[in-house]
Structure 1
Amino acid sequence: MQPIKVTVIGSGNWGSAIAKIVAENSAENPTVFDKSVRMWVFEELIDGEKLTAIVNTQHENVKYLPGVKLPHNLIAVPDLVDAAADADLLVFNVPHQFLPRICKQLQGKVAPTVRAVSCIKGVELSPDGITIIADYISQQLGIYCGALSGANLAPEVAQEKFSETTIAYKVPDSSDQIDQKTIKLLFHRPYFHVNVIDDVAGVSLCGALKNIVALASGFIDGMSWGDNAKSAIIRRGILEMTRFGRDFFPECEAATFTEESCGVADVITSCAGGRNHRLGKAMIETKRPIFQLEAELLNGQKAQGVTTAAEVHEFLKRRGALANYPLFTAVNDIIFNGLDSSALPNILEQVEKKL
């Protein structure tokens, strides 16, 4: 068989960190993977120079992952279709609100034998319900897609500090060249330990819903309520996440939420210092709109929890299930409807009664 060609769709700090891993492993396993790994980069000018040119000559994403050297076999490509051309495996790593436009550009240009892994932490809302990102990619492009999620703050992964992740990849065809062993070979590094499981829905939901909990933990820190209160938010947030999976995605496995890096570990990490926690904390401290803070604090990147909170709220409202998810509902109302965050103790008690 020909070596597997891999393309990473996205070049933010997490996209660049994952591309670094994929390129390192491709270079070390030339009989399995094509040595050249392409990375689609949304073209920007940095001090008058194209970002793709900087990545390809300086081997550094100076805007989104400064100070981290990228492998020389990682090639930045500004055209999305060109980047994906002839790829056998697509790794999606973009803010999920941009995904519909990206999929539309790729429709009809990706063979059905192509496989994909989504590193995107969010859900897609439609009039018919709520869809995990991996399924959305599958539906839009007609290809199989797995999911990667874990306690993975991008700068720490890029700096090769030890971390774990969970990849859900259920081989769609026994004859596939890309199986769970291949997926692990592509993503596992001495500093980035990978566990591969079958539960795509569970891994995807963990990656999306934990961002809502992280916003709540930011509210707690913004009010200086301390670690006891934040621990309560984390525990009850995990319970609500698990219930959401059980209620609306019965194929989920409860153990994914409590035993995998994508579950409890990612919640803890995100509530300690991720983007969503930072924004939630800043919103309470400054009493300013969260979208203004997002533009100022995140260097052009997005905090997925804000969009996810709104989409989950709308989905639960349509299902008449808001009362069963008081913490998720409160996060949405604090962000969008002016609910005072000091109401959280009463809301926590409601969570306990509902779960």
Structure 2
Amino acid sequence: MTDMAESESDVSTDVSALPMLSHSVSYTSIQKPPFVVSVIGSGNWGTTVAKIIAENTRENPLLFEQKVRMWVYEEEFEGSNLSDIINTEHVNKKYLPGIKLPDNLVAVPDLLEAVQHSNILIFNIPHQHLEKILSQLRGNIDPRARAISCLKGLRVNLDGVELLPDIIQDALGIHCGVLAGANLAQEVAEQRFSETTVGYPLPADYKPGDVDHTVLYTLFHRPYFHVHVIEDIAGISCAGALKNIIAISVGFVEGLEWGDNAKAAMLRRGLLEMIKFGRKFFPGCLVSSFTEESAGVADLFTTCTGGRNFKLAKIMAQTGKSAHEVEKEILNGQSAQGLITAKEIHELIKNKGCEEEFPLFETTYQILFHGVRIGILPYMLENKWSISKPNYSS
């Protein structure tokens, strides 16, 4: 969401009017310099997270260096460099227009300069650019640094599934957690109340004074942005990726006007398959991460009531057009993430021989890529449909 949403003061919670509740933390007993924080990425969500962090570092000078550097992929906007606009006007006019940014948030177009001396790195870039960024950072960061990934998704191949925080950790040799939740960037930037989940198990080499749950809570929590810190990275990561497949199935139901009961059925079944997938491929992940956290059921609900995956599927159902045709019309040829994830998950579960364990995922894939008619969805919910059944595309 890069367009400025209209103000709805009559219905939104004016959190800025609430009394500020101090959550500053004193680490005076620990003889170490304050943590230096850098944000890698400056899109609308990247800038929003950087705004939150800069507000909190300014309020907690004993714990954090106040200045927060945000790496900006340099581009020209309205005749000026985007980094110059951010640093002089304190607004990201291209990706978060109309939102005033703290003056201690500094845009830096040079990646290595942006992360120099930092010991907390926040990754917030499109996941397709992650490998390139990691290759530039390798060998150029503090080896004792910690990281948080705000990227949603998984890396799926025929052999298995990799978590994006694990990819960051393996590439850079630093411990990495994850942040995710029902967090529409514009609403958070406008300081409308929302919640998020941080997944961060303490590293094996943890020592007193290191980044811990209290540090991360203090770094991200605001009166309008409530944070719950847990240890389950896998559950949060799986939920963040798989929700997009379910949003497509709910979009199909919406497009056919089957009603709220049918949408509820898709949400229920989708949540169960998310949990089953997480437990199957990451046995240590917790059911509660899906059912109790903002990164789980709350993010699923938000994604299934709007967003590009939901809209694409709704138009497919209304018009009979293919996913590829609708993509070209509403996304200018770009891919909806749910299409990519549906294909990757299908290939994985087919290779593992467990398609029938995930009938909603599998049926959604067959509708998207093989012309199976959407009307098969209720039959699928009885878990009787599989790719060995008769052809239902006619």
What TM-score results when the alignment is normalised by the length of structure 2? Answer: 0.83
What is the alpha-carbon distance in structure 2 between the residues aligned to residue 336 and residue 68 of structure 1?
Answer: 40
Q: Are positions 1:73 and 2:104 aligned together?
A: yes
Deviation of 1:82 after TM superposition, in Å, equals 2.1
The equivalent of 2:5 in structure 1 is none
For 1:52, give the aligned amino acid: S
Q: Pairwise mapping of residues 190-209 of structure 1 onto structure 2 (< 5 A)?
A: 190-209=223-242
> Do 1:103 and 1:140's aligned partners in 2 also have CA atoms closer than 8 Å?
yes
1:306 equivalenced with 2:339 (yes/no): yes
Mark the CA change 1:278 to 1:28 in structure 2 (over 3 Å): closer, same or farther: farther
Cα deviation, residue 114, structure 1: 0.8
- Alignment partner of 1:333 is 2:361: no
Q: Which of the residues 152, 156, 173 maps onto 2:187?
A: 156
Q: What's 1:250 paired with?
A: 283
Q: Residue type matched to 2:143 in 1?
A: P
**Aligned counterpart, 2:248:** 215
Label 1:58 to 1:341 Cα distance change in 2 as closer, same or farther (>3 A). Answer: farther
**Residue aligning to 1:350:** 383
Aligned position for 1:276: 309
In the TM superposition, what is the alpha-carbon distance from 1:282 to its structure 2 partner? 3.6
Map 1:1-355 → 2, pairs under 5 A:
1-126=32-157, 128-172=159-203, 173-285=206-318, 287=320, 290=323, 297=330, 303-350=336-383
2: distance between equivalents of 1:120 and 1:179?
Answer: 20
Runs of 4+ residues deviating >4 angstroms: 286-303
Instruction: Give the whole-Å Cα distance in 2 for the aligned partners of 1:22 and 1:301.
Output: 31
- State whether residues 158 and 347 of structure 2, in contact with CA within 8 Å, keep that contact through their aligned partners in structure 1: no
The aligned amino acid for 2:33 is Q
Q: Is the 8 A contact 2:379 2:385 kept in 1?
A: no
Which structure shows the higher helix fraction? 1
Which has the larger displacement, 182-191 or 64-73? 64-73
Conserved 8 A contact 1:20-1:71: yes
CA contact (8 A) 1:6 1:37 kept: yes
How many residues are paired up? Answer: 353
- Which runs of 5 or more residues in structure 1 are unaligned? none
Q: Which moved more, 1:179-188 or 1:54-63?
A: 54-63
1:51 to 1:202, Cα distance in 2 relative to 1, 3 A: same
Partner SS state of residue 349, structure 2: helix
Partner of 2:15: none
1:96-133 CA distances to partner (integer Å, 9 max, x unpaired)? 22212221221121232110111111001245421111
Q: CA deviation at 1:318?
A: 1.9
Deviation of 1:75 (Å):
1.4
Q: CA deviation at 1:63?
A: 2.2
Q: What's the CA shift for 1:65?
A: 1.8
Of residues 15-24 and 340-349 in structure 1, the stretch that sits farther from structure 2 once superposed is 340-349
One-letter amino acid of the structure 1 residue matched with residue 39 of structure 2: V
- Partner SS for 1:42: coil
After the TM superposition, which of the residue ranges 215-224 and 200-209 deviates more from structure 2?
Answer: 215-224
Instruction: Measure how far apart 1:14 and its partner are.
Output: 1.4
In structure 1, what is the Cα distance between the partners aligned to 2:323 and 2:251? Answer: 12
Are the aligned partners of 1:236 and 1:351 in contact in 2 as well (CA < 8 Å)? no
Give the TM-score of the pair, scaled to structure 1.
Answer: 0.92
Residue pair 1:118, 1:146 contacting (<8 A) in 2 also? yes
Larger Rg: 1 or 2? 2
1:315–1:71 distance in 2 versus 1, CA, 3 Å = same
Deviates more, 1:249-258 or 1:332-341: 332-341
1:119 is aligned with what amino acid?
C
Q: 2: CA distance between counterparts of 1:100 and 1:243?
A: 29
1:291 Cα offset (Å)? 6.0
Q: Is the 8 A contact 1:95 1:304 kept in 2?
A: no
SS of alignment partner, residue 156 of structure 2? strand
CA positional deviation for 1:45: 2.1
Which residue number in structure 1 is paired with residue 392 of structure 2?
none
Displacement, 1:301? 8.6
* 2-structure distance, mates of 1:25, 1:76: 17
Residues 115, 219 of structure 1: CA spacing in aligned structure 2 closer, same or farther, 3 A cutoff? same
AA partner of residue 234 (structure 1): L
Contact 1:327–1:351, Cα closer than 8 Å, also in 2:
no
CA distance in 2, matches of 1:65, 1:78: 17
Deviates more, 1:297-306 or 1:194-203: 297-306
Percent identity between the two aligned chains: 52
Letter paired with 1:264: V
Q: Distance in 2 between matches of 1:220 and 1:62?
A: 37
> Which secondary structure state, in structure 1, belongs to the residue aligned with residue 188 of structure 2?
helix
Distance 2:72 2:369 in 1: 32
| Superposed displacement of residue 167, structure 1 | 0.6
Distance 2:96 2:88 in 1: 15
Per the alignment, do residues 44 and 300 of structure 1 end up closer, same or farther by CA in structure 2, a change over 3 Å counting?
Answer: farther
Q: 2-side partners of 1:338 and 1:79: how far apart?
A: 47
CA RMSD of aligned residues (A): 2.4
